[in-house]
Structure 1
């Protein structure tokens, strides 16, 4: 056997079903988005193997539903400890499979550890409430209360951009609530999910509770969504796929996080020097492949020129290159196809009044951080989700005008406003039609315990551990007749 074959054999990845590594009939190569080199051979599950994983989760649901809260918390806490010990290894896996620069991969692992810690804490806080039955004439002599019970099998379909933390946002609260999971990770980033499954096994999670099924979305995802034994589907990804899931899910619960073209308003009284670093992070971290990446900026005419000059200057200084280089800020997009799509969108602006202030082209296969000014709202770089290091900056005469521009979107995940005017901040918090308004920071702000989700085409339901637990449980009412 050749050396190359040996290497491919040594990196063969299996499915995780009912606590065992399961080998499918087919494998597919996984390539680095940055170098193009083969990283691993990934198991391609068919419908039968996916159903086998659902069966394992369905059969294990009784074990999890009866597991005491303290035990669920202990397992989740142990996962956080084990992941802390293996943080560098985990960050390298993320970086290799997604081309996320290692500085951001390490930050993702740190957040993932926190997410599992929050999940361990929330496992102990699931509670109901007592109902004042004697408030109604017919309720005298009765007492009642609510319980929150595990929903059963949860189908989790996760994206490539945060392959470890967005898995944690589904798996963590699912286990905290006493559910079982069938997880289908993104095709480009399955290694992170398989790595975490191994950690859960080491932490003592019973067999069948977490099953990882890699393979084509049209096969694996369809089987998960259509199986009646799956009680809930939680999905992060594109609106088109999310809408398809909602249409096929029937009466299943669905939580859908479907992206955005997030905007930032900059008021006239803002010190531009103080916000440039945050705007750079918001726009260009992880190559802009973030659901709440800063894609649109509406700057007051009084500060517009200064902001554009300083923002452009800072963007041009960002280091481009190998994601494993600790100084790299921008690396390759997740695929060549994505880079070509974004270049087409940028090309579209050239026939308009828009100006490309920075970037707009590839350098060694990497899309340079791109800043476009005065782009019409109808251009794809403005009205659709770029999911790339592309930002549109337009000038406005007032905060009111900026809010109208922000709201003129099919999306509504998060929006930000920088202002020193309390009235403008309050007005923005009331009038912005989004799931989260971030005052004096970029819309890219997220910590993992906060409720996170959007309106309009940005999806339904909320993540953030406490809020996800509510989505992943059913309320039961108990009434006692004392007479």
Structure 2
């Protein structure tokens, strides 16, 4: 058995190793791979009190200082990329090629956050444009909002931690990180690299544990902003616990991709196969529903099935593997169960539908009823549904039936359809001639409806992690006073 990685709590400037631990059993290896020290009630009290006291010290750091730390961390992550990708493979069963991709994104995210830290500023307001403002000057600045709570998910634990922690620090805040119980080691390793890069210990704390730890942290009055990524049910619990404070939620999805009759069907099938099963489909924008014009439906279904059958399934530590394991056996069994329900209702399963432990065979489901769970709910697994449509207006309406609205894909060369879809689809983002599962970390990302509140990406997150402060200079003007 390989080394078990210890994940300590970082509380009030000290790494805490003594106390109760929880083991993470790797879903593919089926043996302990990491051990997280579980935060206790006293740790939570100490952490929020320290965050309150540390906030001023972090806020006093110049933007250039913050930017330098985050930029150095990006370089460190590059140097340690293979180790971090290996941790993702062991803790989560994420294929090495997907883990390497996530670590590349971490480097991008940190680099962008460093650049955005240098751009924080304010503006001189045109107060002299109205009579009562004549003779005065007003200036604004973006000031740190105060202690931030960052609650991160298991499916992209490194990159989403980078988004939250780097943007919060770039904005001048101290942050309490509550990592996912499924990925404590990789989360802690990233925090350690940031500290080694010069992030002051006052700027970050790490508390491991389950929902009860997150709930208590959300409710703490010392916390100014909560940034949460996870499921809808948990997101609602976070909002209730947080009460009247700023809460940013990036929640679930049931992503739709539309393939029009003028599309390159072969290419669309290839892209959907590659992006529908990466990380075993455990992504809020993973390809789930593909609507194909009826005239091209059979062609697409055959091409997609062939592409999916060619995917390499197995050991996530093997660089050739396309599909590793899901987060645990229960998650894989749920996908098996939902596939069987769809088949019983009349759908055709052209490949997959079974599991071996936590490894879900990549599954294609054709033409299930529109009320089937694989159509109506978020699958969050290695399954793609293909459905026929007849009219473009009709398929847009069908896509919008979902309570989710995170991101959609559209394959077409018709600019009128592109504009119509961008205007009419109830989503936060539209990917043209690509699937729903595409993201650049310097572009705003987030959804509408049950998919959440706010946008992720360093620039937009810095806005959420800062407040506007106004300075009014009465009787002192940079404008004419006549």
Normalization by structure 2: what TM-score? 0.96
- How many angstroms does 1:321 deviate by? 0.6
Distance 2:51 2:195 in 1: 15
| Runs (4+) off by over 3 Å | none
Matched, 1:345 2:338: yes
| 1:80-229 alignment, distance < 5 Å | 80-218=74-212, 220-229=213-222
- The residue that corresponds to 2:479 in the other structure is none
User: Equivalent residue for 2:7?
Assistant: 13
The residue aligned with 1:468 is: 461
Match of 1:260 among 242, 250, 253: 253
| 1:61 aligns to 2:68 (yes or no) | no
Structure 2 CA distance for partners of 1:236 and 1:210, relative to 1, 3 Å: same
**Match of 2:385?**
392
CA contact (8 A) 1:15 1:24 kept: no
Q: Assess if the C-alpha contact under 8 Å between 2:27 and 2:327 holds in 1.
A: yes
Contact 2:324 2:359 in 1 (8 A): yes
* Contiguous gaps of at least 5 residues in structure 2: 477-482
Q: 1:330 maps to what in 2?
A: 323
Deviations 1:38-88 (A, max 9, x none): 112221112221222222222211111010011000000110111111111
Distance 1:295 1:131 in 2: 47
Partner Cα distance (1:78, 1:60) in 2:
22
Compare 46-55 and 34-43 and name the one that shifted more: 46-55
Q: Does structure 1 conserve the Cα–Cα contact (< 8 Å) formed by 2:113 and 2:166?
A: yes
Q: Output the CA distance in 2 between the equivalents of 1:363 and 1:319.
A: 14
The SS at the match of 1:12 is strand
**Contact 1:70/1:123 (CA < 8 Å) preserved in 2?**
yes
Task: Encode CA deviations 1:146-190: one digit per residue, 9 max, x unaligned.
Answer: 110001100010000011001011001001000011000110001
Q: Which residue of 2 aligns with 1:303?
A: 296
What secondary structure is seen at the aligned counterpart in 1 of 2:7? coil
CA drift at 1:385: 0.8
Distance in structure 1 (CA, Å) of the matches to 2:466 and 2:5 = 38
Give the CA deviation at 1:364.
5.6
Deviations 1:423-482 (A, max 9, x none): 111111110011111111111110101111100000001111100000100011111112
Number of residue pairs matched by the alignment: 476
Deviation at 1:24, TM superposition (A): 4.2
- Report if the CA contact (8 A) 2:27-2:358 is conserved: no
- 1:446 is aligned to 2:439: yes
Partners of 1:416 and 1:443 within 8 A in 2: yes
Q: Which residue of 2 aligns with 1:287?
A: 280
Bigger shift: residues 445-454 or 16-25: 16-25
- Does the Cα contact within 8 Å between 1:92 and 1:105 map onto a contact in 2? yes
Does structure 2 conserve the Cα–Cα contact (< 8 Å) formed by 1:407 and 1:433? yes
Per the alignment, residue 27 of structure 1 pairs with: 21
Match status 1:482 vs 2:475: yes
What are the residue-to-residue correspondences of 1:355-434 with 2, within 5 Å? 355-363=348-356, 365-434=358-427
**TM-superposed deviation, 1:377:** 2.1
Q: Which residue of 2 is the match for residue 435 of structure 1?
A: 428
Change in Cα spacing, 1:226 to 1:71, as seen in structure 2 (3 Å) is same
Provide the aligned C-alpha RMSD in A. Answer: 1.3
Deviates more, 1:186-195 or 1:371-380: 371-380
Alpha-carbon distance in 2 for matches of 1:431, 1:365? 38
For each residue in 1:123-166, what CA deviation from the matched residue of structure 2 results, as whole angstroms up to 9, or x when unmatched?
A: 00012222111222211111212110001100010000011001
Show CA shifts across 1:342-368 (max 9, x none): 222112112212111111111464211
Distance 1:174 1:248 in 2: 21
Contact (CA 8 Å) 2:22, 2:38: kept in 1 or not? yes
The offset of 1:94, in angstroms, is 1.1
Q: In 2, Cα distance between the equivalents of 1:375 and 1:178?
A: 50
Structure 1 length normalisation: TM-score?
Answer: 0.96
Q: Is the 8 A contact 1:24 1:45 kept in 2?
A: no
Deviates more, 1:291-300 or 1:375-384: 375-384
Moved more, 273-282 or 30-39: 273-282
Partners in 2 of 1:477 and 1:24 — Cα distance? Answer: 46
